[in-house]
């Protein structure tokens, strides 16, 4: 890149690696969120299917055992509440959002991984590679607008996994100026 000092290239490459790790963190975060929400929605659907099945439940109502009659009553209440919750909470929208975020962050992660590999292969941060990074940052900005509030505890847990997976100390960096090394 003409006109950019070595220190600036070093800082830019460091930024690229940090964004690469952030993209990986977001992939893991939204994969886990999607998995959790999918499981919760399936369980809710099973509750509705089980409690909404009127034939077996009607048998319990006509049974002489008091336990079966009570079970019928409570299953009917559970069916009513479960059926009311589904359209109110619109969990399907959460699934769509998490699926979209996971897909876009996966694409972004792969783009940044390729960018990091290209930087290491060329041993230089060219203006073309820098432009690709700027495009990735714009994508990040667009995705962050869609994100729901994060779960900080889950982020810290997944951050440890990302740090083990991607070690910046093993990545290629341009040389720094001598006065930078003396700090």
The predicted structure's pLDDT at residue 54: 58
The predicted structure's pLDDT at residue 47: 79
Largest pairwise CA distance in the chain:
90
Taking residues 32-52, report their average pLDDT.
Answer: 86
Q: At what angle do helices 6-52 and 91-122 cross, to 10 degrees?
A: 150
104-131 residue pLDDT tens: 999 999 999 999 999 999 999 999 999 9
pTM equals: 0.79
Q: Give me the residue spans of the domains in the chain.
A: 26-166
Residue 2 has pLDDT above 80, yes or no: no
The predicted structure's pLDDT at residue 180: 45
The predicted structure's pLDDT at residue 59: 56
- Residue 57 — pLDDT band, cuts 50, 70, 90? low
- Residue 45 — pLDDT band, cuts 50, 70, 90? confident
Taking residues 42-47, report their average pLDDT.
Answer: 84
CA separation, residue 7 to residues 18, 85, 173 (Å):
17, 56, 10
Count helices and strands in the chain by DSSP H and E runs: 7, 0
- What is the DSSP code (8-state) at residue 77? H
Flag the least confident range among 15-29, 55-69, 158-172. Answer: 55-69
Q: What does the block give as tokens for 82?
A: 């479960």
Please, what is the average pLDDT of the chain?
A: 84
Cα torsion 91, 95, 97, 99 to 10°: value is 180
Q: Exposure string (b/e) for 71-84, b if CB count within 10 Å is 16 or more?
A: ebeebeeebeebee
Residue 98 has pLDDT above 80, yes or no: yes
Output helix, strand, coil percentages for the chain, rounded to the nearest 5. 80, 0, 20
């Amino acid at each position: 890149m003409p006109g950019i000092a070595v220190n600036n290239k070093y800082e830019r490459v460091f930024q690229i690696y940090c964004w690469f790790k952030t993209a990986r963190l977001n992939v893991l975060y939204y994969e886990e969120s999607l998995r959790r929400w999918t499981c919760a929605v399936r369980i809710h659907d099973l509750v509705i299917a089980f409690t909404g099945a009127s034939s077996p439940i009607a048998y319990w109502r006509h049974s002489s055992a008091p336990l079966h009659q009570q079970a019928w009553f409570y299953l009917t209440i559970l069916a009513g509440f479960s059926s009311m919750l589904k359209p109110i909470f619109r969990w399907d929208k959460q699934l769509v959002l998490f699926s979209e975020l996971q897909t876009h962050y996966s694409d972004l992660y792969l783009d940044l991984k390729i960018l990091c590999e290209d930087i290491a292969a060329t041993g230089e941060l060219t203006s073309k590679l820098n432009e690709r990074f700027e495009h990735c940052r714009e994508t990040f900005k667009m995705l962050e607008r869609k994100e729901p509030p994060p779960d900080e505890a889950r982020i810290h847990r997944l951050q440890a996994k990302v740090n083990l997976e991607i070690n910046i100390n093993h990545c290629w960096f341009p040389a720094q100026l001598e006065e930078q090394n003396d700090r």
